[in-house]
Structure 1
């Protein structure tokens, strides 16, 4: 199936709700489906109210679970709908409530993502961050993609000299090196939420904000892990008066484990967006304040930058991966979809699958590490990458089997950079939602900065990161005001022409994690939770002096003989270090196209959750 975009006219939420609630009766002989239909019909007839007071017992239970990190994937099964997240299980439960009250997959995904930001104080994700969406609409049997990623700043005339950077050779350097308003970019998260809801949502717009407004007003307890956000960033949060008032206590000290963080300014802003629409942020009152704050720190962003922002709806990028598998993902200017398909092609070209699983075979692990090393080429100018691989390096070429064969030969010969050190002696969140009708929404969203960013600007509770501080080269290749390619990897897997899996990934090692998760499902026949719990390797560490790579794995999960057998230098990373140790996070929901049975799985090293109905 190759969906087109013949008709991209917006569909109002009211029309979508009416159409879904008035038709689509299941076939006879499907009693479970009839029960689901009647429940959804009842929900459609009632006035929806997503306020946590309506599901208070679960709200408290899931809030307590926010303080506990998992050691294995969360799993949930059902037939009427499911939601899974990489972080913040309470947000998933809010999304499930949207499904239970007559919403669809878009309503669930957007409710969840909005609440995730409130539950993390806008540190790793932001309402002014980025969002990418892959959506399967069961009613039309078509896949749609939406890009709400970074726009560069119209007035930025010298992007190569934007201040700042990340110094990965030291813990402090990872938090950024220089303060500047020029490091801000125009984020499309909230514009994307509005566009997705306008086109496909069913619940009233204001409803999907109720859980996030509630948690912003009432607060959430700080966990030991979240306390670490403040430990590394306390001095930066104290620099600006509004940021200090928002994220430090009255005495100027950082929040610690057990404290409750309330965000009244954020609650007021979210209520304004719920009442007035996304124009409040993109050209309205918030836009003026944001531009002023950024300019006060030397930035060049204006209200016009925000007012000009538009999401990009486009056809999906589709790859036939063999054995009946098809992958639908975001096309360029998103960069992650191309890299994801390229990696699957390289897996075939390398003979990786003939060596067994990488947790059992050093030869397979070595090949898998080499395949994912090719992602380093994404950081080079396209013309330089093309010269290294000896051929076309355009997105259209990179998703072909011929390119994979050629690139694999180059990798085996040896790239002139990023080679593995020999073995010596002995930011972001994901949401996937599926409803009872078979609609699938997979999204990734991120602040694309390290915990608020070095500049740490906050405007009426909304955080503004510093994503330009480490992407100067990529920005310099673009016309001012254009869309910056993002590495997000989000998609839907089809098998024999039918959608069977929605997934999303995040973290610095998202490319590596997605590569492994898809192979585990497609080639090794694993369920989504088995695919997540199977030991994974992370993004490698690079020596800043020599460029030599050291691969990283979760501590105690791989057999030592497999690690030693690669001949490559490696490092074992333990759970508390994983977030900054190159970890990738991948979540997914499977759907049996014949029975409608759902199986959702969340991440296995933090406070994630999978929920189903």
Structure 2
């Protein structure tokens, strides 16, 4: 690997400073509440067992500034405190599903601006003992009363994104709690209530506001100020967001989580919590709307067929519709397979030009052809057909950029118009892997930072319905991704598994950051497969995002030296602060190495697994 590739230990955005300030010691007692059994002995230190990170759960008192960790069981998450919650479940003898649920719930507390129980998620699950590969759709759904004109103004023109996000109209029925319950029912081992204890302790006793959280709170201070409930928690007496380093207590959120832990997932979808959600949407400070108790009670997780394809002998599996991520990823990789990216390497600007061209083609199809397949005829087979991929790939030339990119015509379909996509820098990703080889790969979101701005029971409600097309028609035909009652909006979330030629799971990766999620996952897969990089270095590779706006590349990275070449090839080129935030794990001998994007606050934490593989998950639900 080139010495110029950014190493995983590098920490832009003052991450080292942030990590050194997390938790001065106020939450040490939380461990007792979360661990009724004795704490497991820590693994040997790295000095005595190379590659094995010391496991010492601290609930944020001391978070190691590392991007990777190796051990028999690993959790990688968008925030180190959430990763610790999952690692503790593994240490207690829980499965990867237990760890993923605990991590996902903890993210509600520590990264509530990006994900949480007020949003939705996708899961890709794998168990090597049974060969099981399952994808579960916990995406938000539109209320039954939603109609295609939901985001049209009185004059018939579409609202702007900024107009549509705040308040009730953008809120979909949340799916995270139902997804957590389904994961636990199928593959969990620990009691349901135990999975909530780390999050409850942190919400009750307080968390130190991180640099990233403070930055987004400042960015969306207007939204927080507009919501009285949110302002009371996240703004100080001067009306400004609490700064980095402030101890933030969230007692209402602790109470909500205690209720769900005690009474099970139905406590979220029926009763007082559901009534509070419905009321908040109806009486919102902006765009009041209807989301009924019946909408909440009717929500169910849907199992979807895994979407799999081949790339250089590997099997790549991801999420299908309503996510467009899996389709776009497989298109990007398939269109690139005829080019020798390995020979070119990561320092060749032509390699990145080829990647950018393939992204442009895939994103054009994403905009035109994808949505909720339960409501629209998404031509998945046509978009991934080898002859169609070959035709699209033939448009890519190493010596020049395509002057314009349009959607293709899979299965002889008529061309469709496209719409510009926003890169919303929110969402969270996590991966949990246990010593029996089971793995949960989860992307979770409330969409924009702080979602709709509506705070209910201490958690933010999503603004996920703004992922629908605001205009209900395109070229005189109904838009595939138009709003409809009960429908799930199109997504970019791309939780992905990579299987080696012998069929063994090799790696799992996912990311946050709106439409850039697809680009981040594609970059990581290419870096691992074509450029032979270990997973932590693959996540550290500089990023690009290419669509019909041209190439946006990571400002301040070594890619800046390639911009002149791209311009000469005909690209529109722009440096940008991309929302790069990926998490991954990969096989390391008989264990795992977990990694987090070094430009994020994420972390990977290794943990021993008590009684590893001693029995199968008991399941049983909440």
- TM-score for both structures, normalised by structure 2: 0.77
Tell whether 2:566 aligns with 1:605: no
Task: Give, in angstroms, the shift of residue 608 of structure 1.
Answer: 1.5
Q: Partner of 1:405 in structure 2?
A: 390
Q: 1:524 aligns with which of 521, 531, 538?
A: 531
- Which is helix-richer, 1 or 2? 1
Q: Partner of 1:130 in structure 2?
A: 120
Cα shift readout 1:553-604 (whole Å, capped 9, x = no counterpart): 24132361x221112343334xxxxxxx333333211125xx4132211111
Cα shift readout 1:504-557 (whole Å, capped 9, x = no counterpart): 2221311111111101112222110121122222456xxxxxx74342224132
Change (3 A) 1:258 1:416: closer
Change (3 A) 1:396 1:554: same
Q: 1:89 aligns with which of 76, 80, 93?
A: 80
Task: Give, in angstroms, the shift of residue 99 of structure 1.
Answer: 0.7
Cα shift readout 1:287-310 (whole Å, capped 9, x = no counterpart): 111111101132121111111110
Residues in 2 aligned to 1:95 and 1:160: alpha-carbon distance in whole angstroms = 39
Tell whether 2:336 aligns with 1:347: yes
Cα shift readout 1:2-55 (whole Å, capped 9, x = no counterpart): xxxxxxxxxxxxxxxxxxxxxxxxxxxxxxxxxxxxxxxxxxxxx995479959
Q: Partner of 2:495 in structure 1?
A: 490
Tell whether 2:94 aligns with 1:103: yes
Q: Partner of 1:441 in structure 2?
A: 440
Does the 8 A contact of 1:538 with 1:584 survive in 2?
no
Residues in 1 aligned to 2:320 and 2:512: alpha-carbon distance in whole angstroms = 18
Q: Partner of 2:105 in structure 1?
A: 114
Superposition CA RMSD, Å? 3.0
Task: Give, in angstroms, the shift of residue 61 of structure 1.
Answer: 7.3
Tell whether 2:544 aligns with 1:555: no
Task: Give, in angstroms, the shift of residue 318 of structure 1.
Answer: 1.9
Residues in 2 aligned to 1:76 and 1:184: alpha-carbon distance in whole angstroms = 37
Q: Partner of 1:372 in structure 2?
A: 359
Q: 1:468 aligns with which of 458, 465, 471?
A: 465
Change (3 A) 1:256 1:52: farther
Tell whether 2:574 aligns with 1:571: yes
Q: Partner of 1:30 in structure 2?
A: none
Q: 1:77 aligns with which of 66, 70, 77?
A: 70
Change (3 A) 1:556 1:180: closer
Residues in 1 aligned to 2:148 and 2:60: alpha-carbon distance in whole angstroms = 47
Q: Partner of 1:222 in structure 2?
A: 209
Secondary structure in 2 matching 1:125: coil
Does the 8 A contact of 1:265 with 1:460 survive in 2?
yes
Does the 8 A contact of 1:48 with 1:101 survive in 2?
no
Q: Partner of 2:143 in structure 1?
A: 153
The number of aligned residues is 517
Secondary structure in 2 matching 1:181: coil
Residues in 2 aligned to 1:63 and 1:355: alpha-carbon distance in whole angstroms = 45
Secondary structure in 2 matching 1:139: coil
Q: 2:253 aligns with which of 259, 266, 282?
A: 266
Cα shift readout 1:195-240 (whole Å, capped 9, x = no counterpart): 1111111110001100000110111112333222221222322223
Change (3 A) 1:272 1:354: closer
Q: 2:272 aligns with which of 281, 285, 288?
A: 285
Task: Give, in angstroms, the shift of residue 434 of structure 1.
Answer: 1.0
Residues in 2 aligned to 1:476 and 1:607: alpha-carbon distance in whole angstroms = 33
Q: 2:404 aligns with which of 400, 415, 432?
A: 415
Change (3 A) 1:177 1:149: closer
Does the 8 A contact of 2:174 with 2:462 survive in 1?
no
Change (3 A) 1:318 1:379: closer
Secondary structure in 2 matching 1:525: coil
Cα shift readout 1:473-532 (whole Å, capped 9, x = no counterpart): 468635411233322101221111111212222213111111111011122221101211
Does the 8 A contact of 1:158 with 1:476 survive in 2?
no
Secondary structure in 2 matching 1:300: coil
Residues in 2 aligned to 1:521 and 1:374: alpha-carbon distance in whole angstroms = 22
Does the 8 A contact of 1:429 with 1:506 survive in 2?
yes
Change (3 A) 1:48 1:238: closer
Change (3 A) 1:317 1:476: closer
Structure 1 unaligned residues grouped into runs of 5+: 1-46, 168-172, 385-391, 420-426, 541-546, 574-580
Residues in 2 aligned to 1:408 and 1:380: alpha-carbon distance in whole angstroms = 18
Does the 8 A contact of 2:320 with 2:326 survive in 1?
yes
Structure 2 unaligned residues grouped into runs of 5+: 1-31, 43-54, 372-376, 408-417, 419-425, 471-478, 608-622
Does the 8 A contact of 1:152 with 1:186 survive in 2?
yes
Change (3 A) 1:399 1:50: farther
Q: Partner of 1:31 in structure 2?
A: none
Does the 8 A contact of 2:511 with 2:517 survive in 1?
yes
Tell whether 2:319 aligns with 1:312: no
Change (3 A) 1:48 1:61: closer
Task: Give, in angstroms, the shift of residue 60 of structure 1.
Answer: 4.2
Change (3 A) 1:446 1:393: closer
Residues in 2 aligned to 1:52 and 1:177: alpha-carbon distance in whole angstroms = 48
Q: Greater CA deviation, 125-134 or 332-341?
A: 332-341
